[in-house]
Each structure stands twice: as structure tokens, then as C-alpha cells.
Copies of this chain bind each other. A is one copy, B any other.
């Protein structure tokens, strides 16, 4: 059994991870740490019968785990990751601290990086793309939720050099759990319910540099994006509608076939049949990402629709998937 520890267990992603690890046939939870709720159980924080005791992060038995998951904020994670590695455990980090390869980009979007020397150590944990590296690393930077959705949607086209116009338009919609557990005016029920709103629109959201970094990797050249996040009146799920321009001779059947081929062996990515559209309901509650491909009615103009559960494939599920890869378990173990 893999011995696991979870930091930040009382946040939405941490709680989701605890639930996944509990059901996982090959893992045992050694500790669940929470800065805010140390001393309580998860059933004190959420309506559930989960009785795991939350401990203070500085009192966890790091030497008793094989892997630690950091569901901790930006800035907190990087130093914590150091501690975990030093204690001889593997590490999957949910924050943005280790996602960007370039410290100056981090500084621009997040402020001064707490431990820039870590940036080169981490593997970017988009499992479908970096599986081989993930299998060998001790340190994974779990991708952002929007990022995972956008990147899985664009990967086959970008990789094949089919994206011929910038900026690539990503019109993304997310449920409220993406905003975190902290009560704010933005997350007040009355603010969200019966509403739809945009935020950090254009080129402002912190997932922008992460998406552009990876798109550049895929395409072999920089690809600028426009990113328009919307806040949906649902608790979970992301749906991204992406508009791409390709060489005009590319037919929708060709494009669809490329996507199917690219993801044919992927257990968690479903390229839907032509004519069907990806929906939130298809993926919420699972570790799946669904992608559908649509003609925009003009040669070379296509619409991609991609969905996932932001707390599972966009966070805790992908983290478990990465752990499975890191420890040589079946990749779907605990996730099917």
C-alpha cells in the first residue's frame, strides 16, 4: 500500500482528494493536514461522515509517507515541497508554484517566487502529455483546472501544427468550487445563483501563462491566447469553448480523426463522435475529459468544446492519476 499524506485537506480540492484516496485500493492515508481546521475532523468542516483527524501541517509524520499531496496556496507549496522531498517522499503539488518553468514569468503573475530553484525539478503533471517524465520524477506540478481543460482540447491540434491564427480564443465557464472555499462577495449564493458573469477577462487570469507555456511546447512556437473565464451557477465543472483557425483544406473528419488517434489509448479522454457535444454532465463526478469538435461553418474555422470536473480531472483526480503513474500502479486505479 502506498502511504499518502495530504496538506491542505480542508479545502475543496483537498477534501476531494481525501475521498478519492479513501476509495483507492492501493493507498492508505497517513495524515490529513489543515492550517485552518487542525484539531477538527473533516465531518466538522463539511457535511459528511469522514472522521479523519485534521492535524497541523508542522506536526505531520513526513517520514511515514511515500507521497505527499500539497493542496496548499501559491507561495506555501514550494517550501513545503522541499520539506517533503528532503524527508524522502514523492510530491504532487496543486498550487502554481512549480508549474511555470521561468521564474520571471512567475514573478510577473504571482509575485516573487519563494524558491525558484525548484522550478527546474518539477515535471508538469498533464498526465496524457508528460506520462513518461512523470513516471520518473519525484516532484509533479499538478496543472490548473482551466489549464487542463484548455490544453487537452488544444494538444492534438497544436502538436500537429494545425493552429494557424492567433490569438486562440478560449471561452471558459467554471463552477464556483473553482473559486475556493473562502466565503466572499463573489461566492455568496445570491451573487452567483441565476447569474452568469465574467472575470479576469482577456489576458489577465493566472492560468494564461501556464496555458501559453504549454501551448508553446506543443506547437514548437509561441501561441498567444485570449482567455475569458465565466462564473457558472453550478458547484462543479468546467466547459471551455475554443475557437481555432486551421489551414482551410483541413476537413472536420480529418481533424476529428487526428483527435481520436491522439487520444485512442487514453483512459480518461473521450473524443465524442461528430455531431455530439461535450457537456458538463458528461464529466462531473468523474476523472474524464470530454472533447467535441464542430465546424464553424467556414473552411478552416472550428469550434472545440471540452469539459471536465474541476475538482477531479482538474485537480484531485489528475493528482491521483499522476501518483498512479509515479508508483507504477494501473493508471485508472481508484479512478474508474
Contact = CB atoms under 8 A, between A and B. Distances in A.
Given A187-B189, A235-B190, A167 B197 contact: no
Given A167-B297, A189-B176, A296-B167, A277 B194 contact: no
Contacts of A243: 169, 171, 226, 243
A278 B281 CA distance: 26
B277 A199 contact: yes
A20 to B, nearest CB: 13
Interface in A9-48: 12, 23, 46-48
A201 B171 contact: no
Contacts of A196: 173, 232, 234, 237, 239, 279-280, 307
A224 B12 CA distance: 42
A187 B183 CA distance: 8
Interface stretch (A52-60, A82-90, A147-155, A298-306): A298-306
A185 B191 CA distance: 14
Contacts of A189: 176, 187-189, 191-193, 233, 235
Given A12-B190, A194-B194, A241 B228 contact: yes
A184 to B, nearest CB: 5
Interface residues of A, number: 68
Contacts of A23: 336
A296 B241 CA distance: 16
A116 to B, nearest CB: 26
Given A188-B183, A202-B297, A241 B233 contact: no
B281 A47 contact: yes
A202 B303 contact: yes
Interface in A194-233: 194-199, 201-204, 224, 226, 228, 230, 232-233
B277 A49 contact: no
A177 interface: yes
Contact of A49 (B49, B169, B201, B282): B282
A162 B203 CA distance: 22
A15 to B, nearest CB: 11
Nearest to A295: B202
Given A177-B190, A187-B188, A197 B336 contact: no
A99 interface: no
A284 interface: yes
A166 B297 CA distance: 12
A294 interface: yes
B279 A226 contact: no
A66 interface: no
15 contacts: A12-B190, A23-B336, A49-B290, A167-B296, A181-B190, A187-B189, A194-B236, A194-B237, A194-B280, A194-B281, A196-B232, A196-B239, A198-B294, A202-B294, A202-B296
Interface of A: 12, 23, 46-49, 166-167, 169, 171, 173, 176-177, 181, 183-185, 187-199, 201-204, 224, 226, 228, 230, 232-237, 239, 241, 243, 270, 277-282, 284-285, 288, 290, 294-298, 301, 303, 305, 307, 336
